Chain A
Amino acid sequence: MIVGTRKPLAEIQGMVAGARRLLVAGCDTCVAECVAGGRREVAELSAALMMASRMAGRQVEIREASVDRQCIHEFLLEVVEAAQGAEAVLSLACGAGVQALAARLPHLPVFPALNTQFIGETAERGLWLENCRGCGDCLLGLTGGICPISRCAKSLLNGPCGGAVGGLCEINKAKKFDPEVPCAWLQIYDRLSALGQLERLTVLAPPKDWSRGEAGGPRRVLRPDQRP
C-alpha cells in the first residue's frame, strides 16, 4: 500500500487560505490503513481547520467526503459531486489520488494534505515500513522474498556490505531509528537458509537495469486487452 503522513497544519492552512468553501476529501484504502487520510482523518482535519479559521476571524464552510480510491476515476464521482460549490479541495489521498481528482476538477484548485512517503507494509500497529521501490524489475524471487533495493540502506544487489553489527544495519550509527533497522542482507541469508536455498548467494547479481524504474522517465503500463 501507499504510506503517507499529514502535512503540518500551518502548511495546509497556507494552501487553502483564500477558500471560503472547502471540500476535504479522504481516501479509504491505503492512506486510511496508515491512519493518515481516511474518513476519520478527514473529520479530524476538518474540525481542526474549522477551529483554526474561526480563530483567524474567517468563516469557512467545510464539507467532507471520502471514497474508496481516489486514484480510480470511477470512484471519484461522489467527490466530484461534493465539490460543487467549493472554492478549493483538500485531498488526503496519495499523490496519485490528488492528481486523479485534479484531473476530474479542471476548474478547481486541488491541494495535497499529505506527503506521500513510500510503498510499504503495516509491520506492527503504528509502524509502517518501506519495502518496495517499484523498481520495475522485481528480484524477490532471488532474495527469499526480502527486497534489497528498499530494505538495504545501500540498495546492494550483492550484500551484505560488511558494516552490519549484531544483525543491524550500520545506518543506525548515523541516525536514530526506533525500532532499529536490521541488515536486509542478513535477513535474506536467514530466509534462504530456512528455505534450504543458500546456494543462491553464490551467484553474483549482474548490474541492474535501472531504466525500468524511475530513472527511465515517467512510467506507464499499457494493456491492449484492457483498452476500450
Chain B
Amino acid sequence: MREKPKVVILACQQALPDPEPLLQALEAAGLTARAVPEPCSSKIEAFHLLRILAVEADCVRVLACPEDACLLKEGSCRLGRRLKHAQEYLQEIGLEPERLEVTRLNPGEAVDLPRLAADLAGVALTLGLNPGRRRVQEKEPQK
C-alpha cells in the first residue's frame, strides 16, 4: 500500500484550542496527521521542528497567533525566528523549507478549517514523502 504523507501539527492552545477537527479533515484529504498541543508557540524550539521531520513527519505546520497578538508578548515572534533558523538547515540539507511552515490564526476567532486543511494537504501532497525521514524499517537511534 502506498504510504500517506504525514503532517505533524504543533498547535498553540490560544490559536487553535481543539485541533481534532483539523486532524479529521487532513485524514479525509489523504494524509496521516498528529497534533501536539502547545501552551504557546514560543515553547517550540528549532530542534523540535528538525527532530520531528527527521523522525516521523513529511511536513510540520505550526499554528501560532499573529506576532502582535501573542499571549506571551514575544513568543510568536520568537517562534518565527526559530522556524526560519530551522528552514535554513533544511536548505543546507537540500530539503524544501516549505516542509516547515507557520500559519497565523487569530486567538478567539473561528478558524476556517476546510480552507486550512486544504492548504496543508496541498503543500504535503505536492511535496510528497520526506526523503530525510526515518522509515519504519529503520531502528530507533540511541540517546
Residues of B within 8 A of A41 (CB): 47
Is B141 engaged at the interface, CB distance under 8 Å to the other chain? Answer: yes
Contact with B along A41-72 (1 / 0, CB 8 A): 10110011011101100010111100000000
Q: In the complex the two chains form, is B131's CB within 8 Å of A50's CB?
A: no
Q: Please tell me the number of chain B residues within 8 Å of chain A, measured between CB atoms.
A: 23
Q: Are A40 and B46 also in contact (CB < 8 A) when A9-B89, A63-B141 are?
A: yes
Interface band, chain A: 10 to 19
Is B142 engaged at the interface, CB distance under 8 Å to the other chain? Answer: yes
| Residues of chain A whose beta carbon lies under 8 Å from any beta carbon of chain B | 8-10, 40-41, 43-44, 47-48, 50-52, 54-55, 59, 61-64
Number of residue pairs A-B, CB distance < 8 angstroms: 60
| Residues of chain B whose beta carbon lies under 8 Å from any beta carbon of chain A | 45-47, 50-51, 53-55, 86, 89, 92-95, 130-134, 138, 141-143
Residues of A within 8 A of B132 (CB): 50-52, 54-55
Residues of A within 8 A of B55 (CB): 47
Q: In the complex the two chains form, is B54's CB within 8 Å of A44's CB?
A: no
**Which single member of B46, B86, B141 contacts A62 (CB below 8 Å)?**
B141
- 8 more A-B residue pairs beyond the given contacts A54-B131, A61-B142, with a C-beta to C-beta distance below 8 A: A41-B47, A44-B50, A48-B54, A50-B134, A54-B133, A55-B94, A55-B95, A61-B141
Q: Are A51 and B138 also in contact (CB < 8 A) when A44-B46, A44-B47 are?
A: no
Most B-side CB within 10 Å, residue of A44, A51, A54:
A51
Nearest residue (CB) in A for B132 is: A51
Q: In the complex the two chains form, is B141's CB within 8 Å of A50's CB?
A: yes
Q: In the complex the two chains form, is B53's CB within 8 Å of A47's CB?
A: yes
In the bound complex, how far is the Cα of B47 from the Cα of A50, in angstroms?
Answer: 13
